[in-house]
Structure 1
Amino acid sequence: MLGTITAADFQPLQGKVCVFEATPTLSMQLTVEQVTSRPDCLVPGSVEVREPFCVLLSGQQNETSVTSATGVLRLGDEATLEGVYINRVLPPMGGVPRPWYQLVFN
Structure 2
Amino acid sequence: MLGTITAADFQPLQGKACVFEATPTLSVQLTVEQVKSRPECQVPGSCKAREPFRVLLSGQQDEADFTSATGVLRLGDGAAMEGVYINRVLPPVGDNLRPWYQLVFN
TM value normalised by structure 1 = 0.95
Q: Deviations over 1:24-53 (max 9, x none)?
A: 111000000000000000011114431000
Deviates more, 1:71-80 or 1:49-58: 71-80
* Aligned counterpart, 2:53: 53
Match runs of 1:1-106 below 5 Å: 1-77=1-77, 79-95=79-95, 97-106=97-106
Q: Give the % identical residues.
A: 81
Cα RMSD after superposing both structures: 1.1
Q: Which runs of 4+ in 1 moved over 2 A?
A: 94-97
**Unpaired runs of at least 5, structure 1:** none
**Alpha-carbon distance in 2 for matches of 1:44, 1:96:** 37
**Alpha-carbon distance in 1 for matches of 2:27, 2:103:** 16
**Unpaired runs of at least 5, structure 2:** none
